Structure 1
Amino acid sequence: MDQTGSPQLCFPNFNTSCRRLLRPPSEAVLLYTLLGFASLLTVTLNSLVIFSISHFRQLHTPTNTLLLSLAVCDMLLGLLVMPIEGLRYIETCWLLGRLLCALSPYIFYCLISASLGHMVLISIVRYLTICDPLKHSSKITMTNVKMCILLCWTSSVIYNGLILMDHMGNPDRFSSCHGECVVVISYIPGTIDLFFTFVGPCTVMAVLYMRVFLVALTQMRVIRSQAAATSDRLAPTAKKSHMKAARTLGILIVVFLMCYCPYYYPTFVGEDTSTRLSYYSILTWIELLNSCLNPLIYAMFYPWFRKALKLFFTFRILQAQSREVMIM
């Protein structure tokens, strides 16, 4: 008799095992194929960003250093989080054991928080570059940026350790049977987390970008009013490049917010955030989608990334002195 689609036990040898819904083979194959494709694409695209910025000396700038660290974060989401969340959804059972049940949400939350922190840092760098051009070179140094990146990662590790301390200490406390990994963030801590890690940083980004675009529009008016003399073209060209960079980073942040806002839906409607929610997988995968979209945005709006890809796929990257190629 065909048992496909009927409830089975996650672990038949355990009397306390959870029930498992077997998917039709064709559906399971399709889901695993999509999971593998999404994970591989995310890891590959972000690896190309990491390699491009690391390889070409001209790309060793403070802003690109932030983009590199953000790409590392996105790559780890594709490499570590996507497969685990995909397995949770496809198998409808937790098959990875107690240790990974304790650690996987922590890794997920750390990487998500680090992504948000990088977006805030990118906003600050762009704001200082455009709105305070005379002083930004002394403030935005490689040393300062690296220290901020370290602080961002460290804060994410410590903060999420505090948020998930109870879960990591006792990952089975909300499980009703063997084969579950339930993570619950109650409404009050969830609300505090919403304002501390989402509303606050997003407000900072919105205010900074409103200021950036107002200044950029003012600069564009100056460009149109300047004479077409050769000696006067350098400044307008620089200002145009600032406008394009600000627009691109603005698109990054808008896409980021579109992907991350749905995850906080349970808190908005007054519910606990729990992996038991019927729509939890949808919220999670919308959020994870951002990790794959970021490098695609680079490819569409950053000429240096497109040029780096061309050099990579034509194997010119293997030539001597390829690190010194003028890519911007």
Structure 2
Amino acid sequence: MNVSAHCDPPVIIYKQSDGFDLNASCDWTSVDRGPLLPTFSTAAKVRVIVTFILCGISTLCNSAVLWAANGHKRKSHVRVLIINLTVADLLVTFIVMPVDAVWNITVQWLASDLACRFLMFLKLQAMYSCAFVTVVISLDRQSAILNPLSISVARKRSRVMLMVAWTMSTLFSIPQMFIFHNVTITYPANFTQCTTRGSFVTHWQETAYNMFTFSCLFLLPLVIMIICYTRIFIQMTKRSLFSNQLSLRCSKNNIPKARMRTLKMSLVIVICFIVCWTPYYLLGLWYWFFPDDLEGKVSHSLTHILFIFGLFNACLDPIIYGLFTIRFCKGLKGVSHRRATDMSVKVTNTVVAETLKCTAITFPCKRGEAAGEKAQQV
């Protein structure tokens, strides 16, 4: 949210809390033609309620996935990737969601300048980690399909990529601690906000920083993911065309089936990331270059919906993992196996009972049965 002592009448409150935050949670009101101050609108109240609900759901689902993954004795490198993605989603859950909700309730920034800088760093770091870990999953699946013989080095490679992802997410977020600070105005009332106001000498510098954040946070990961899965699709198409032995379902080895299941899971995770965040980032891109065009065309409610839709991605990842995980499938198979076992026991008991009954009845006719068996053998 940009607040200055001068009269700036933006339609959308621009906080830049995660590189950019189209936070239209407050309505602008004019007091004696002075600076416009935000208020806690009805749309903001709905946003706060939904955000807290998503926070609870995401905490429950991601904690369950983290507990299940850590409880498994053998940790494959794919499971390690999922654990890292879950940790990144929990960072969004415990940092981005609560800070956004509380900030909407208080309207202005009530914490210290140090808290302003540090929380803005953590918020962007959480967003970066989600994007970069998703990229690592895409790169890992590309390597698994294009180079299936390199399974022995897959664990080491994924560990290195994860270290790079977390390191980059931290380094790229450090500028937040220098450009964000508390700004206070005294007219028409004392009002303090955590903002980037005054951190950039010219407007193009602010736009350049926003574009860098947008590129690293969304555009570059999107391009890498598209390239990875395009190469996977091309490779699998070539194999299906030139080799009749590629049928993974008919393979006696269970590894190709597991690899295909993991590929589907990672693809769905990537699609959900793209679908959830694309509308929000596109609106931010529109605001940077054509802020005047948004006035009167984009309602505050729409910006609330797009931001909440982006946060919903943190809830979808553990659900997707639950649907595709091996343990979940084994659980379903176990239920069907137990039902089949119970049915077979009932059938066996019935057969035994009928056999004993038949034996008691036909015991006197043993010679006839023996003769019949000999005739059958001939």
Query: If the length of structure 1 is used for normalisation, what is the TM-score?
Result: 0.72
Kept in 2: contact 1:259–1:289 (CA 8 A): yes
Aligned mates of 1:193, 1:147 — CA distance in 2: 23
Q: Which residue of 1 aligns with 2:214?
A: 194
**SS of match in other structure, 1:268:** helix
Aligned mates of 1:303, 1:61 — CA distance in 2: 12
Aligned mates of 1:99, 1:112 — CA distance in 2: 20
Deviations along 1:42-66, one digit per CA (max 9) or x if unpaired, are 11111111111111023x1112111
1:290 to 280, 297, 313: 313
Q: Which residue of 1 aligns with 2:178?
A: 166
Aligned mates of 1:72, 1:101 — CA distance in 2: 23
Pair 1:216 & 2:236 matched: yes
Shift of 1:122: 0.6
Q: Which residue of 2 aligns with 1:109?
A: 124
Count of aligned pairs: 286
- Residue 88 and residue 223 in structure 1: after superposition, are their counterparts in 2 closer, same or farther (change >3 A)? farther
**Matched letter for residue 220 of structure 2:** G
- Residue 226 and residue 261 in structure 1: after superposition, are their counterparts in 2 closer, same or farther (change >3 A)? closer
- Residue 284 and residue 103 in structure 1: after superposition, are their counterparts in 2 closer, same or farther (change >3 A)? farther
Deviations along 1:141-173, one digit per CA (max 9) or x if unpaired, are 2x44333222211211111113x24324x3428
**Matched letter for residue 172 of structure 2:** Y
Q: Which residue of 2 aligns with 1:325?
A: none
Q: Which residue of 2 aligns with 1:55?
A: 71
- Residue 286 and residue 174 in structure 1: after superposition, are their counterparts in 2 closer, same or farther (change >3 A)? farther
Shift of 1:119: 1.1
Q: Which residue of 2 aligns with 1:85?
A: 100
Kept in 1: contact 2:39–2:107 (CA 8 A): yes
Pair 1:300 & 2:323 matched: yes
Aligned mates of 1:244, 1:20 — CA distance in 2: 49
Shift of 1:214: 3.0
Identity of aligned residues (%): 20
Shift of 1:244: 2.5
Query: If the length of structure 2 is used for normalisation, what is the TM-score?
Result: 0.64
Aligned mates of 1:165, 1:61 — CA distance in 2: 37
Equivalent runs, 1:117-156 vs 2, <5 Å = 117-138=132-153, 140-141=154-155, 143-156=156-169
- Residue 174 and residue 66 in structure 1: after superposition, are their counterparts in 2 closer, same or farther (change >3 A)? farther
User: Which structure 1 segments of 5+ residues have no match?
Assistant: 9-15, 312-328
Shift of 1:260: 1.9
Aligned mates of 1:97, 1:309 — CA distance in 2: 51
User: Which structure 2 segments of 5+ residues have no match?
Assistant: 1-25, 30-34, 198-204, 292-297, 335-378
- Residue 93 and residue 308 in structure 1: after superposition, are their counterparts in 2 closer, same or farther (change >3 A)? farther
Pair 1:255 & 2:272 matched: yes
- Residue 226 and residue 157 in structure 1: after superposition, are their counterparts in 2 closer, same or farther (change >3 A)? closer
Deviations along 1:46-99, one digit per CA (max 9) or x if unpaired, are 1111111111023x1112111101101101211222111112224433334433
**Matched letter for residue 233 of structure 1:** S
Between 70-79 and 194-203, the greater mean CA deviation after superposition: 194-203
Equivalent runs, 1:19-30 vs 2, <5 Å = 20-21=39-40
Aligned mates of 2:247, 2:280 — CA distance in 1: 50
Aligned mates of 2:277, 2:178 — CA distance in 1: 24
